[in-house]
Structure 1
Amino acid sequence: MTTDKPARGRPRRFDPDQAIATAQSLFHARGYDDVSVADLTKAFGINPPSFYAAFGSKAQLYRRVLDRYALTGAIPLLEILGTSRPLAVSLAQVLEQAARAYAADPSATGCMVLEGTRCNDVEAREAACTFHVAAQDVIKNIIAERYPREADQLADYVSTTMAGLSASARHGQSLDRLLTTAQLASVALAHAIPAEM
């Protein structure tokens, strides 16, 4: 039989990777501003000096959480868009996957990056904005490979739709409604994209 209790006199070993995963859950569920250092140290089972020694600051921890989110929770844009399918089909899949991802966890709705772009902490907000702009650039650059003239407006439309899906999920909109919005947006994209040769 195993137990979670540490051996007498020996503290439980702190696992920074597990702490980052725990922080991701907290930031995603409650937003950056509503998670305090006290909340984090309690969740990690460490004291504030250990927290600052391990992560530097709450904003620096958030940056590491964003790195993890990019690998574990973000929409896989390159995987979806980097195919030979018609662009309208790929962009429709991006929007559908966004709707599904943003509603997947009822306790952590929306896109953590998009929600982070509105937080009050300047350093954390800039980190989230950097990730957001990088995702926008991926979308725009892939569109530009096929449709350089339309790349800006199509990428803006996709990014704006994703932001709306995230905000709507955060406010409790159901998956069915989010998918309907994604499907309507996909119809508009199909009309806006020139016929593929």
Structure 2
Amino acid sequence: MPGGRPRAFDAEAALDRALEVFWRQGYEGTSLADLTAAMEINRPSLYAAFGNKEQLFHKVLDRYFTSPGAFASEALEAPTAQGVVEHLILGAVELTTGPQSPRGCLSVNSVHACGPDSEPIRREVIARRMAGEAALRRRFEQAADLPVGTDPRVLAQLVYTVTDGIAVQAASGCTREQLREVADLALRTLFHSPG
């Protein structure tokens, strides 16, 4: 006897549409009605394919960090610490101001707009951020080109502070050109390059 009826929708495309809604509105600002409308499915199909809203958000986070946000893990492969930082900061500008994506950053938007009922989501996003920062610190610990006296832990925290700030500014309406100027100044300052 054949298995259940095949899904009448493209689960990957629906997940991409859910990502866009969460990115634009944050976790707490997104309702199930918003999701089902954007994903073009009904609630039973959403639950069957993705679980509840929280489970769907976890899948969206995985998608975000391996697709539009993949530049962050790719940056760790740069041959120098300076290259890593450039890739991260310039990547943050591109991600948060891209013409095909919502302004700002999914994880930053979701952490800052979570009430008590969404605390598990907030903790999950913070844990992913901390894991990324720890990976960046480890990469800096291996770097031969850090400026003398630079603490890899503090530099990793500074870079994440800059990229999060870029996301907040992008969500507030700063243009790509404005944020590119900020990024260029940050990079010159960090690595003492002449302007």
Alignment map for 1:97-108 (pairs within 5 Å): 97-105=91-99, 108=102
Q: Are 1:37 and 2:32 counterparts?
A: yes
Q: Which runs of 5+ in 2 are unaligned?
A: none
Q: What does residue range 1-197 of structure 1 map to in structure 2 within 5 Å? A: 13-85=8-80, 87-105=81-99, 108-120=102-114, 121-146=118-143, 150-191=151-192
Which stretches of structure 1, 4 residues or longer, exceed 3 Å deviation after superposition? none
Aligned partners of 1:108 and 1:21: how far apart in 2? Answer: 13
The 1:144/1:109 distance shift into structure 2, 3 A limit, reads same
The alignment's TM-score, normalised by the length of structure 1, stands at 0.82
Residue identity matched to 2:119: V
- CA deviation vs aligned residue, 1:59-95 (integer Å, no higher than 9, x gap): 110110011111111142343332323x224312321
Contact 1:23 1:40 in 2 (8 A): yes
SS of the equivalent of 1:13 reads coil
CA 1:149–1:173: 2 relative to 1, 3 Å:
closer
Moved more, 49-58 or 141-150: 141-150
Judge which range, 61-70 or 149-158, deviates more. Answer: 149-158
Corresponding position of 1:7: none
Code of the residue aligned with 1:189 in structure 2: it is L
What is the number of equivalent residue pairs in this alignment?
A: 182
CA contact (8 A) 2:71 2:87 kept: no
Larger Rg: 1
Identity of aligned residues (%): 30
TM-score normalized with structure 2 length: 0.83
1: CA distance between counterparts of 2:95 and 2:53? 25
Q: Structure 1, unaligned stretches of length 5 or more?
A: 1-9, 193-197
Q: Contact between 1:117 and 1:125, CA under 8 Å: does it hold in 2?
A: yes
Are the equivalent residues in 2 in contact too, given 1:75–1:94 (CA < 8 A)? no
Separation of aligned partners in 2, 1:187 and 1:161: 13
Aligned AA (1:134) = A
- Preserved CA contact (<8 Å) 1:110 1:170: yes
- The residue identity in structure 1 corresponding to 2:137 is K
- In the aligned structure 2, how far is the partner of 1:106 from the partner of 1:22? 12
